[in-house]
Structure 1
């Protein structure tokens, strides 16, 4: 009989423990959050809903209240998530957190996934036609190859 050492810890081997879902208020991002919530419920994982507040330099230079607007979006997203969680209370139990980061969506989601030690990232498909040419956040996350990425239409 060979005495084996226990295998070293490997993140994600028993299913995801933390699932990051990107939310920006678009229909596709809400579908992504819903999909991620279902995954989190079935896997008994933590759902980390992330909103990346864009830094709009041009608007800020012109005196537009950019920070106030993006904070309002974050507050509205949080309120909607809370309402949804309350409606499902007693039916489905999902552990969840809401996080906001500042920056561009790709770098914000990368920072969130790294800092939260995400095992998976779920995002909605881009609704912007220009992303077919330039590349969407979802495509950039897939190309990064650091986590399994699910893109929800």
Structure 2
């Protein structure tokens, strides 16, 4: 197989050609920045009425397709002592309430990890910690609720 070289000479771009390419690049960058800017500036929250309390730190909201795991809260698991008290306390606190949660993360189980607030502004995790049925999850909260050692 024989390779043929192009007969067209390799001319450098003229000044007008450089300007056109520069304008195209600047336009693409401007469109990209403008389209991403407002999205990153928005606060990522989910809101809705509580449908179901799964355990002492997880519940479902109407209109939200994933369960919500309360950020900064460590409640006993189902097979641990105190689990039913934590679950019933969370149920009493949020049942029938409309909550707003600031999305912090998605955990390995696909749940939304959110800092959640009742309509009156009370922080769900702070209420559970104050009730003594759960503790602050210091590894993730960084001592936000003031109950970790060294605070």
TM norm structure 1: 0.27
- Choose between structure 1 and 2: higher helix proportion: 1
Higher relative contact order (CA 8 A, sep 6+): 1
- Choose between structure 1 and 2: higher strand proportion: 2
TM norm structure 2: 0.28
